[in-house]
Amino acid sequence: MAIHVSVQDSPFDTAGEIARLSALSDQIGGVGTFVGQVRGGNGLLSLTLEHYPGMTEKILHVLAQEAVQRFGLLGCTLVHRVGTMRVGEAIVFVGASAAHRAAALEATAFLIDRLKTGAPFWKKEEYADGHASWVAAREEDEQAARAWMQHAPPQT
C-alpha cells in the first residue's frame, strides 16, 4: 500500500498521478480519480487557496490512511494546490487504486467529501468587478462528510 500526499502551488500532472497509482501492484483492478477545478460564473476570475502548512499535509495523510483501511486500497493519492488559480485550472487530484473498481470509486468519493470539510484550506474568490470574498463552508459539503461517518466501512 502506498500513500502520496502533496500540497503545492504548481500545477499537477493528472496522467502522471494516474500512472503512479496504476503501477503500484499487479493486483490493481481499478483506479478511481477525481479532479476538481475552479468553476467560473458571475464574473469570477480566480480563486486563492491558503492553508496551514504542516497541519494540512498531516490531515490529508490521515484521511488517506483512513481510506486505505476503510476500502482496502493498494494506493491513495491526494494532491491539492494552493495559491491563486484562474477559472478552469485544476485545484485537487484525488486518486485511489484497489483490487476492485467499486472500492476505488467509493474511496475517491469518500476522500473528496472528507477533504472538503476536514482539511484546513481557506478560499477567497476574486471577481472582475474588483471585489473579493472569502468562501463560507457549504452545508451540503458538511452533510456529505457526516454521511460517511454514519456508515460502517464495507467488509473486504
CA-closest candidate to residue 34, choices 86, 81, 79, 100: 79
Phi, psi (deg, nearest 5) at residue 40: -90, -170
Q: Using 50, 70 and 90 to split pLDDT, how confident is the model at 117?
A: confident
Of 136 and 42, the structure prediction assigns the larger pLDDT to 42
Beta bridge partners of 140: none
Q: pLDDT at residue 145 above 80?
A: no
Over residues 48-92, the pLDDT tens digits come to 999 999 999 999 999 999 999 999 999 999 999 999 999 999 999
The pair phi, psi for residue 97, each rounded to 5°, is -115, 140
pLDDT at 107: 97
| E strand or H helix at 71 | helix 55-71
> What average pLDDT does range 113-123 have in this prediction?
91
Question: What is the average pLDDT across 132-141?
Answer: 82
Using an 8 Å Cβ cutoff, are 119 and 80 in contact?
yes
Helix (H) or strand (E) holding 121: strand 121-127
Domains of the chain in start order, with CATH, are 2-150 (3.90.1170.40)
Is a pLDDT exceeding 50 seen at residue 131? Answer: yes
According to the model, what pLDDT value does residue 143 have? 75
Write down the pLDDT at residue 141. 67
Q: What is the pTM of this model?
A: 0.90
What pLDDT shows up at residue 152?
56
Residues in Cβ contact with 58 at an 8 Å cutoff, skipping those fewer than 6 apart: none
Binning pLDDT at 50, 70 and 90, where does residue 153 land?
low
3-class SS letters over 84-108: EEECCCEEEEEEEEECCHHHHHHHH
- The DSSP output letter for 136 is P
Q: Which of 16, 148, 153 is nearest to 93 (CA)?
A: 16
| Contact predicate 122/53, CB 8 Å | no
- Residue 148: what pLDDT? 76
Q: How many CB atoms lie within 10 A of CB 151?
A: 9
Question: In the prediction, which pLDDT does 155 show?
Answer: 45
